Amino acid sequence: MGSGKTLVGGLVAQRARAEFFDLDHLVEDQAGLSVAEIFATHSEAAFRAFEKETLPRLQQPGAVVALGGGVVMDDDNWRLISDKAMTVHLDVPFAVIWSRIQYLGTRPLIVNMSQVEVEELYRRRLPRYQEAEHRVDATRPAGDVAEEVLQLWSA
């Protein structure tokens, strides 16, 4: 949710000459609907079910995967991810995230939420994010963040 997962993940994959997957895009392909359409015509639960079904297919050696912010909240998903992959928390304070997403109408989970509600969602998710193997300050330019993630991955 506004931390730069897709942008940074894409840069890391490009620089490493690795395959890149964005879970949201793969869910859209599988469902034949955009994320917004899944939320509007089905529900968040339906979207989470698509995520859970799609996630195991992304566990490919040497691939970079950008995960949606909510997928890790499911304990089974988190076990799968953390057992089989290097995990990185792109750490961004809520104020910065809010400045990045507040005018975007393309995030169906938060489109009808107030800033207070979005911050509460962020606070609920943060402890899980902090369980990641690595933490990277993602308030910096995306290229710098990607370089740090690439160095962690190469270590």
Residue 119: pLDDT over 90: yes
pLDDT digits over 73-100, tens only? 999 999 999 999 999 999 999 999 999 8
- Within-domain flag for 146: no
Per-residue pLDDT at 106: 67
- Within-domain flag for 82: yes
pLDDT digits over 100-109, tens only? 888 776 666 7
- Within-domain flag for 147: no
Q: What is the mean pLDDT of residues 136-148?
A: 97
- Within-domain flag for 148: no
- Within-domain flag for 144: no
Per-residue pLDDT at 2: 86
DSSP letters, 35-62, are HHHHHHHT-HHHHHHHHHHHGGGG--TT
CATH number assigned to the domain comprising residue 44: 3.40.50.300
> How far apart (Å, rounded) are the C-alpha atoms in residues 81 and 52?
11
∠ CA 54-102-14, nearest 5°, is 45
> How far apart (Å, rounded) are the C-alpha atoms in residues 107 and 101?
8
| Threshold 0.75, pTM exceeds | yes
- Within-domain flag for 151: no
What residue type is 27 in one-letter code? Answer: V
What domain range includes position 54? 5-138
Pick the closest to residue 123 from 98, 94, 83, 148 (CA basis): 94
> How far apart (Å, rounded) are the C-alpha atoms in residues 122 and 131?
15
- Within-domain flag for 127: yes
Domain count, the chain: 1
**The token pair that represents 111 in the structure block:** 């489109």
| Confidence band, pLDDT 50/70/90 cuts, at residue 12 | very high
Per-residue pLDDT at 96: 96
pLDDT digits over 27-67, tens only? 999 999 988 889 889 988 999 999 999 999 888 889 999 99
Q: What is the mean pLDDT of residues 18-28?
A: 94
Helix (H, G, I), strand (E, B) or coil at 47: helix
- Within-domain flag for 105: yes
**The token pair that represents 69 in the structure block:** 């912010």
Number of H helices, E strands in the chain: 8, 4
Per-residue pLDDT at 104: 74
